[in-house]
A and B are shown apart, each in its own frame.
Chain A
Amino acid sequence: MRPIATTRAATGIATGKLAIWWVLASEVVIFGGLLASYVMHRLGHPEWADAAVHTNTWIGAINTFVLLSSSLTAVLAHQAAERGDGKKAARYLYYTIGGAATFIGVKSYEWWYEISHGYTITSNTFWAFYYSAAGLHALHVIAGAVIMFIVARDAAKNLELHRVELIGIYWHFVDIVWIFLFPLLYIAK
C-alpha cells in the first residue's frame, strides 16, 4: 500500500512528475559539467579540430533523426495514455524502444569503425571527451529503454498509465542532451 504521503499533492503537481523534474535537474548538471569542461577545452585547443574532422557527421545526423522520431512516438504514447488507451500507449512505447535500439545499433557500428581505425578513448583528450560524453548519453538511452519496457508492459494491461508521461519526459531529456552533443562533437569541425 502506498503511504498517504505519496497520494498528497500540496503543489497541485503529481508527485511522480515533480520528482522526475528534479531527477532531470540533477542530470542537467552532470551533463552540464561534462560539456562545459569540453567546451572550455575545445576553445583552448584549436588543434582538436584535426581530431574532430574524423567524426562522421552523417552517422550523427542519422542518429539525431532516429532519436527525434522516437520522441514523437513517446508523445503519441502519452496522448494515448491520456485517453486511457493503454494498449496503444504500449505500442507507441515499443516503437520508441525500437528507436533506442536503432540508435544504439548505429552508435555501435560507428564506434566499431572508429576504434578499428585507431581512434580510441586514449588517443587524445578530444577522443576521451567524445567517448565519455557519448557513452554517458548512450547509458541513459539504454536505461531509459529498459524502464520504458517495464512501463509499456504495465500500460498494455492499463496499469500505471501516468507513468507513460513520466518516462516520456525523461526521454525528451535524453533527446535534448543529444541535441547538444551532436553539434559539439560532430558539426564543429
Chain B
Amino acid sequence: MVEPAVDLTHGHHHDDHADHGPKGWLKYVWSTDHKVIAMQYMFTGMFMALVGGFMAYVFRMQLAFPGIDVPGFGMVSPGEYNALVTNHGTIMIFWVAMPVLLAAFGNYLIPLMVGADDMVFPKVNRLSFQVFFVSTIVILASLVVEGGGFAGAWTAYPPLSADSTYNLTPLGSTLWVIGVGLEFVAFLLGGINFITTLMNSRAPGMRAFDVPIVVWMIVVASILFMLSVGPLLAGAIMLIFDQTIGTGFFNPATGGDPILWQHLFWFFGHPEVYVVLLPAMGVVIEIITTFARKKVFAYRTVIFTVVATGVLSFFVWAHHQFIAGIDPRMANIFTITTLLISVPIAELCFVYIATLYGGSITLNTPMLWALAFVAEFLIGGVTGIFLGAAGADIYFHDTYFVLAHFHYTFFPIAIIGTFAAVTYWFPKMFGKMMDDRLGKIHFWGTIIPFNLIFIPLFVLGMGGQHRRIYNYTHFPELALDWFQDMRVVATVSLLIMLAFQFVFFYNWYKTIRHGPKAPRNPWKANSLEWTTESPPPHGNWRPDEMPVVYRGPYEYSTTDREDDYWPQNEPSSRGSA
C-alpha cells in the first residue's frame, strides 16, 4: 500500500510545530495532523472496499453458477452466503462510504478549505480514527469467529439478530453489533470536530456563504449523523443485552416489540443515506464548477436546499416498513414525506445541470466521474419514487428492484463520488498528476459494467425475484432460463468491473513513482486548498502566510479579469483589469 505522501517537514525550514512527536513511520500512526488522519481513513476504507468487493464477487458467483467452487473462496454454504451478503452491506456502508467520503475527505478538506492549520481538536480527531480502527478489527474478527459472521442482513432485524437459536452465530452477531456501535462512536467524535471547525476556525474574512459547498455538505451530513444515530446506539445496547444477558426488549413474549428495532434502525438508516449522499454531492459540485469554469448556479439556494433535505430526512424512515404491519394511515403520511424529499434532491440535480449550461467544459477524468454521478444517481433517485409510494412498494418490497435501486444510489455515492474526489484532489494530496488516459480507461471500465450489473437486476426484481435467496434453482418459478441468463450477465459484468479496478491501482502506483509533479493549483480552482503547496506542509500554510479571504469560492469567468478564476485569498486590487 502506498505510504501517505504528506511530508511533515516539507519544503521549508522547520517551523515550531513541525518537528515534535514520534519519528519515522510512527509519525503516521500517532500523528494528529488532519491530512494524515484523512489518509488513514482513506486507506482503511479502500482496504475494506476490497473486502466488500470480494464478498460481492463470491456471492454473485454463487447466484450465477449455483454450487460452483468459487475460485479463491470454495463452495459457498447457505450460512456463508447469508453472512457474505450481510457483511457486504455493512462494510460498504459503514466501513467504505462513511470513512472515505465523510471522514477522509471531511478531514482532508475542511481545514484546508476554511483556511485553518488543523482541526480544532487534533487529539480527538486522532482518537476518532483509533476507535474506528478498533471497530474495523472487530467487524473483521466477527467474520472468522466460531459459528461464522453475522448473517441476519445488514438491517439486523430481531428476532433473527437477537436470538442465537435462530441466527446460529452467537459470537458473530454480538461482535457485529459492537463493531457497528464503535464505528458510530468514532464518527460522533469526528463529527464534533467537523462541525466546530467550520463554525469557529474559518479564515479571517470568510463568511458563512464564502464556504465551499462541499464543506457545508460534509458538516450538514455530520449533524444529520449526530442527531440520528443516538436512538440506534440506544437500540444497539438493547440488542446486545437481548443477545447476551437475555433481556427481551425486542421479544413480544416478555413485553418487547421487534418493530421497535425497525423504527430505531431506520430513524437512523434513512438520514444515513443523506449522510453519505451529501458529501458526494458536494464533491461533484466542486468538480463541475471548476471544469465548467462557471459560478455555481444559486449557491445560497443549494445550502438552504441541503438543510431542508436534512430536516425532511428525519420524517421518511417508515417507508422501509410499509409491509411491517404499520398503520396504513401512517404509510400514507410517510409516502407523502418520501415523495416530498425527492423535490430538493431533484432541485440539486437541476442546479448542477444549470451550472454546466453555457460553461466551457473540460472532460477530464474527475469531470467524467462527476457527470456520471449525476446521471447514475438520477436513475437511483427516480426508481426510489416507486418504492417510496406505499402502493407500489408492497409489490416491490424485498425484491431485486429494491436492491438495484439502492445500488444505483449507493454506488454513485460511495464509488463514483469517491473516484471523483480522489482524481480531483489527488494532485493536492500526493503532489503528483495522475495519468488522464488511464483514468478514462478506468472510468469507462467501471461505469459500463456497473450499469450492466444492475439493469438486469431491475428487470429481475420486476419479474418477482426476491432478495436473500441462496440458490434460485430451488424455486421453480424463479429458475427460468432467461432469469438465470440475467444473473450471469450481472455476475460477468461484476467480474469485468472488478478487473478494471486494477487499472486504477496501477495508475496510482505509476503516478506516485513516475507521475509529473503537481503545481499548487493544477485545475486553476478558487478554493483555499489550492493556494498552498502540493502536498500541503504540516500546518497547511506557513504561520505568516495563513490565508485571508476576500470572496466566495466560485468566481469563475469574471468578465473584467484576465484570468478566468479568482482565488478566494486574492485581494481585489491585484489582477483585475
- Which residues 380-419 in B have Cβ within 8 Å of A in the complex? none
By beta carbon, the residue of chain A nearest B260 is A37
* CB pair B237 A26 closer than 8 Å: no
Q: Which of B225-233, B323-331, B361-369 sits within the interface?
A: B225-233
Taking the closest CB of chain A, its distance from the CB of B203, in whole angstroms, is: 9
Interface string of A121-155 (1 = CB under 8 A from B): 11011101100100010000000000000000000
* CB pair A11 B199 closer than 8 Å: yes
* CB pair B196 A37 closer than 8 Å: no
Bound: A10/B249 CA distance, A: 45
Bound: A18/B195 CA distance, A: 9
- Which residues 203-232 in B have Cβ within 8 Å of A in the complex? 206, 226-232
Bound: A11/B201 CA distance, A: 9
Q: Does A85 contact B (CB under 8 A)?
A: no
Choice from A3, A22, A125 contacting B116 with Cβ under 8 Å = A3
Bound: A112/B488 CA distance, A: 62
* CB pair A22 B231 closer than 8 Å: no
* CB pair B200 A128 closer than 8 Å: no
Given that A4-B546, A128-B241, A132-B238 are contacting pairs, would A13 and B256 also be in contact in the complex, using a CB cutoff of 8 Å?
A: no
Given that A6-B121, A15-B196 are contacting pairs, would A22 and B226 also be in contact in the complex, using a CB cutoff of 8 Å?
A: yes
* CB pair B234 A34 closer than 8 Å: yes
Q: Does B429 contact A (CB under 8 A)?
A: no
Given that A3-B118, A4-B546 are contacting pairs, would A36 and B231 also be in contact in the complex, using a CB cutoff of 8 Å?
A: yes
* CB pair A128 B230 closer than 8 Å: no
* CB pair A33 B232 closer than 8 Å: yes
* CB pair B234 A19 closer than 8 Å: no
Given that A25-B227, A132-B241 are contacting pairs, would A5 and B249 also be in contact in the complex, using a CB cutoff of 8 Å?
A: no
Taking the closest CB of chain A, its distance from the CB of B87, in whole angstroms, is: 25
Q: Does B122 contact A (CB under 8 A)?
A: yes
Residues from chain B with a CB closer than 8 A to the CB of A1 are: 16-17
* CB pair B202 A128 closer than 8 Å: no
- Which residues 22-78 in A have Cβ within 8 Å of B in the complex? 22-23, 25-34, 36-37, 40-41, 44-45, 47-48
Given that A6-B121, A8-B202 are contacting pairs, would A121 and B245 also be in contact in the complex, using a CB cutoff of 8 Å?
A: yes
Given that A30-B233, A125-B247 are contacting pairs, would A5 and B255 also be in contact in the complex, using a CB cutoff of 8 Å?
A: no
Q: Does B179 contact A (CB under 8 A)?
A: no
Q: Does B570 contact A (CB under 8 A)?
A: no
Q: Does B31 contact A (CB under 8 A)?
A: no
Residues from chain B with a CB closer than 8 A to the CB of A9 are: 200
* CB pair A126 B245 closer than 8 Å: no
* CB pair B255 A10 closer than 8 Å: no
Q: Does B99 contact A (CB under 8 A)?
A: no
* CB pair A124 B254 closer than 8 Å: yes
Bound: A126/B260 CA distance, A: 15
* CB pair B264 A37 closer than 8 Å: yes
Bound: A15/B194 CA distance, A: 12
Bound: A92/B233 CA distance, A: 34
Q: Does B543 contact A (CB under 8 A)?
A: yes
* CB pair B246 A22 closer than 8 Å: no
* CB pair B201 A10 closer than 8 Å: yes
Choice from B246, B249, B257, B539 contacting A3 with Cβ under 8 Å = B539
Choice from A5, A13, A47 contacting B201 with Cβ under 8 Å = A5
* CB pair B231 A125 closer than 8 Å: no
Choice from A10, A19, A32, A128 contacting B121 with Cβ under 8 Å = A19
Choice from A3, A11, A44 contacting B122 with Cβ under 8 Å = A3
Q: Does B188 contact A (CB under 8 A)?
A: yes
Residues from chain B with a CB closer than 8 A to the CB of A23 are: 192
Residues from chain B with a CB closer than 8 A to the CB of A19 are: 120-121, 192, 196
Bound: A124/B118 CA distance, A: 50
Given that A22-B196, A41-B257, A125-B249 are contacting pairs, would A5 and B117 also be in contact in the complex, using a CB cutoff of 8 Å?
A: yes
Bound: A27/B227 CA distance, A: 9
* CB pair B199 A122 closer than 8 Å: no
- Which residues 145-181 in B have Cβ within 8 Å of A in the complex? none
* CB pair B241 A5 closer than 8 Å: no
Q: Does B278 contact A (CB under 8 A)?
A: no
Q: Does B248 contact A (CB under 8 A)?
A: yes
Residues from chain B with a CB closer than 8 A to the CB of A8 are: 116, 200-202
Taking the closest CB of chain B, its distance from the CB of A25, in whole angstroms, is: 6
Residues from chain B with a CB closer than 8 A to the CB of A48 are: 255
Choice from A3, A27, A121 contacting B241 with Cβ under 8 Å = A121
Choice from B200, B206, B234 contacting A33 with Cβ under 8 Å = B234
- Which residues 246-285 in B have Cβ within 8 Å of A in the complex? 246-249, 254-257, 260, 264, 267
Residues from chain B with a CB closer than 8 A to the CB of A124 are: 248, 254-255
* CB pair B120 A6 closer than 8 Å: yes
| Given A8-B200, A18-B196, 9 new contacts (CB under 8 A) | A1-B16, A18-B199, A26-B227, A34-B238, A37-B234, A41-B255, A121-B241, A132-B237, A136-B234
Residue contacts A-B, CB under 8 angstroms, 13 given? A3-B118, A5-B117, A6-B118, A10-B200, A10-B206, A15-B196, A25-B226, A26-B188, A26-B226, A28-B230, A121-B245, A122-B247, A125-B254
Residues of A bordering B, CB below 8 Å: 1, 3-6, 8-11, 13, 15, 18-19, 22-23, 25-34, 36-37, 40-41, 44-45, 47-48, 121-122, 124-126, 128-129, 132, 136
Q: Which 9 interchain pairs have the tightest Cβ spacing?
A: A33-B231, A29-B230, A5-B116, A30-B230, A3-B118, A34-B234, A5-B201, A125-B255, A128-B247
Residues of B bordering A, CB below 8 Å: 16-17, 111, 116-122, 188, 191-192, 195-197, 199-202, 206, 226-235, 237-238, 241, 245-249, 254-257, 260, 264, 267, 539, 543, 546
